A and B are shown apart, each in its own frame.
Chain A
Amino acid sequence: MRNHSVRRWVIRGILSAVFSIMVFPLFMLLVNSLMGKQELLKTFGAVLADSGEYAGMRIFPAYPTLRAYVRLLLDSPEYFTAFWNSMIQTAGVIFGQLLAAVPAAWAFAQFHFPGKRILWLVYMILMILPFQVTMVSGYLVLNAAGLMDTRAAVILPGIFSTLPVFILRKTFAGIPGEILEAARIDGAGDLRIFFGIGIPLGVPGIFSVIVLSFLEYWNAIEQPMTYLKTKSLWPLSLYLPQMIGSETAAAFAASIVTLLPAVLLFFWGQAYLEQGIVASGRL
């Protein structure tokens, strides 16, 4: 079957081409972060520092060095303030999301209660709405509560995003009824069943939520931009683009350090990420 193997190679060719385009930005950032200041200016001066005719491209730096990382580590305390702001913001949102969404998803998966269908519909609409729609209502509450321009202004509304409820409900609904029935016959109460069976069996869903939420809130721009005025509270997602303009030499290293937590988590939890995406598609 020659025809068959030709087609297989065509498919491989197309997939490799797209694959290269997808990973190219990360590769370039990584390679450029190893350039020294001189080489950086010589290669990208046209774009970054307004000198030279066109930006050049190097697949590997002529004189690889870690100096940009050292510079970042030693000379930019603001960068690390922003790094911790991002960490606090993201961890706060995820922790809160789990506290609220795990029991809520359990309720939707395991109980029948009046108003369930209409509430589920409301949760679904909330999941779909873009941030711009809830921006005003969020502002009205945060302003009334005196929370504008505090970390809580970004964290609190993020906690009550309804996407985690969807993902977790899917996981909980997959728990076989016989297990729960057996526990009930043994006299276990609602809380025992939830903590003893629900949560342990829901761990894959919980990981999915952690990965998806981390990628989302590590990259959050709209919320901090709207609700935070004080620059020392800014997360990396807002601080980094500003810094690139002023500290060209460390720009690529700073970009790499910024994406590192997200990309490492991605490599660790790709399977959970895929499960989370699939769960988000089962409305």
Chain B
Amino acid sequence: MPSKRRARMRGYLFLLPSLIGTGGFVLIPFLDVVRRSFLQAVGNGFVGLENYRMVLANKAFRLAAGNTVRFMLTCLPLLLILSLSLAVMVRKADRFQRWVKTGFLLPMAIPAASVVIFFKLVFDERGWLGRLMGALGMEAVDWLASDWAFWVLVACYIWKNLGYDIILWLAGLGAIPLEQYEAARVQGAGEWACFWYITLPQLKETVFVTGLLSFVNAFRVFREAYLLAGDYPHESIYMLQHLFNNWFVNLDIQKMTAAAVMLVMVTGAAIVPLSIGKGEMDEKS
């Protein structure tokens, strides 16, 4: 049935501009990246997994990957727990809800370049925080040139992303039917029991998605890190983003290609199972 087949292909008509662009700028070049990751820098000889071995053995890579993992493991749980608790409170804030949300989302709109000078005032050795420490009789530190740099960055990240995550939680919380709470209360369940037995189980998917998006957004903390501390910051915040940037400056294409392929595999491993589960649901609806 030719007309039926034509009907099946009509979707591509609309998809085409986007498909050509993503194909041309991302997908096809990425295949080239995969190919190059198995080749020698000069002469294009096939070297198998040599580039991968080189990246994994690279000292800077180990430092950067370790820091990135440490950063994720620290700031993701912190951000998720903090934003969920605040979201639960925001729901109870009836009259002030609008105001509170505006305030929480505002940091999203402030470019990194603009707040850098504020962060300098706070975290400089002779800045506000140093002054406070001095007043309390403690030694002032150059926060960004010490192990504290890591925590400065965690603070920046949470400040920037708190509102985003709260909105995601609010959407998830709003989807839980109110009757369930009423039924539980009638049977004498307290606030905490309601949260533990009704709210949390139904937030499973929101937890996953919010975690995933927060993970992606965590890569953007490079903006603040770079503007505050430059190409080679204190080693506690030297992350994969810095490494990629420095490899790029040196045009170290071989290492970049191998590392990029590995990063895609890690990200893909997180998302493919989710989408397979979701895909089946979408087919039904």
Assuming the A-B contacts A113-B12, A141-B25, are A125 and B253 also in contact, with contact meaning beta carbons closer than 8 angstroms in the complex? Answer: no
- State which residues 161-184 of B face A: CB under 8 Å: 162-164, 167-168, 171-172
Decide if B66 is an interface residue (CB 8 Å cutoff). no
Decide if B146 is an interface residue (CB 8 Å cutoff). no
Residue of A nearest to B99 (CB): A19
Contact A14 B114 (CB under 8 A): no
Residue of A nearest to B8 (CB): A113
Q: Which residues of B contact A140 (CB under 8 A)?
A: 29, 32-33
Decide if B267 is an interface residue (CB 8 Å cutoff). yes
Decide if B260 is an interface residue (CB 8 Å cutoff). yes
Contact A263 B106 (CB under 8 A): yes
Decide if B116 is an interface residue (CB 8 Å cutoff). yes
Q: Which residues of A contact B143 (CB under 8 A)?
A: none
Q: Shortest CB–CB separation between residue B91 and chain A, in angstroms? A: 10
Contact B11 A139 (CB under 8 A): no
Contact A258 B111 (CB under 8 A): yes
Range, interface on chain B? 35 or more
A12-33 Cβ-contact flags toward B at 8 Å (1 or 0): 1011001101110110110000
Q: Shortest CB–CB separation between residue B231 and chain A, in angstroms? A: 10
Contact B30 A137 (CB under 8 A): yes
Question: Could you say which of B30, B130, B223, B264 contacts A219, with CB atoms under 8 Å apart?
Answer: B223
A248-283 Cβ-contact flags toward B at 8 Å (1 or 0): 000110011011001101110010011001101111
Q: Shortest CB–CB separation between residue B124 and chain A, in angstroms? A: 4
- State which residues 1-54 of B face A: CB under 8 Å: 8-19, 21-22, 24-27, 29-30, 32-33
Question: Could you say which of A104, A129, A262 contacts B264, with CB atoms under 8 Å apart?
Answer: A129
Contact A241 B113 (CB under 8 A): yes
Assuming the A-B contacts A11-B93, A103-B15, A225-B245, are A238 and B209 also in contact, with contact meaning beta carbons closer than 8 angstroms in the complex? Answer: no
Q: A interface vs B, CB < 8 Å?
A: 8, 11-12, 14-15, 18-19, 21-23, 25-26, 28-29, 44, 46-48, 52-55, 57, 99-101, 103-104, 106-108, 110-114, 116-117, 119-126, 128-141, 156-157, 159-160, 162, 165, 190, 194, 215, 218-219, 221-222, 225-226, 236-238, 240-241, 244, 251-252, 255-256, 258-259, 262-263, 265-267, 270, 273-274, 277-278, 280-283
Known: A54-B131, A104-B17, A126-B22. 16 other contacts (CB 8 A): A18-B162, A22-B107, A29-B117, A100-B21, A107-B15, A116-B11, A120-B279, A128-B270, A130-B216, A131-B219, A134-B260, A137-B33, A221-B113, A221-B222, A262-B110, A270-B102
24 inter-chain pairs at a CB distance below 8 angstroms, sorted by A residue, are A18-B104, A25-B118, A47-B124, A48-B120, A53-B126, A54-B130, A57-B128, A104-B19, A107-B14, A119-B19, A120-B275, A121-B275, A122-B22, A129-B263, A130-B216, A132-B241, A136-B257, A138-B29, A162-B18, A221-B226, A222-B222, A237-B112, A240-B114, A266-B106
